[in-house]
Structure 1
């Protein structure tokens, strides 16, 4: 027999701690995959000899609602994704889990020094915002002949 004895229900203490943390941080997501505190949209950044390529995964957003700007070496992606409600007339429905982010968002990406702010293109393809930033001519690799 174990010498450990809890005077209170351990699970109720965890529940109380969970409620306190939810109050402190503005509520927990319904599952680990729906972390509201993580950045949206998720991005990939890569580079070639001539460009810096940024892909922001933003499905379900009207491209007209996206704003892309560049200022002082910072690329900003902002917009809003509307909440999806299958049947707006059914107000009695309760959600058990919500894993899709909805609302306003803003991502700021610091570009490297060799990025050329005059050479930026953005396009929205299949739910992805693809941004291409050109590099300055002086930063591109070049062959040097030895004399």
Structure 2
């Protein structure tokens, strides 16, 4: 938890420029990627991210608690999201064999087909709106900075 100081270290103009560029640029990027997925596949970006994470797992399955952590989502929010994806036939919940209280999210064949169809639109958007705008060195810097932020803020 961050402590509140009586004398905050205000951002200088360069720090403020970096902060605001991140906030606005990140939001505009997510909105654009979401719009492209919605327009072409009727799929929201957060739902696409769930499908991707499940597709990368053995048997297309992951514990809900682990999935929430990987998506930086609350368990409650993820549960509502999985309910919507279940209604669409993209995922299903199954019981955990090792832990009767555990719940597993599983990508369905329809979910995998949807992901395969949507992935080219998403990757083209990521490339066009971010990756191709950076030099290889800038890509390494962005990755290093946000890996450090993730490590610093990871509460799991």
> TM-score scaled to structure 1, two decimals?
0.22
Query: Hey, which of these two has a bigger chunk of strand by percent?
Result: 1
Q: Highest relative contact order (Cα 8 Å, sep 6+), 1 or 2? A: 1
Higher Rg of the two aligned structures:
1
Query: Hey, which of these two has a bigger chunk of helix by percent?
Result: 2
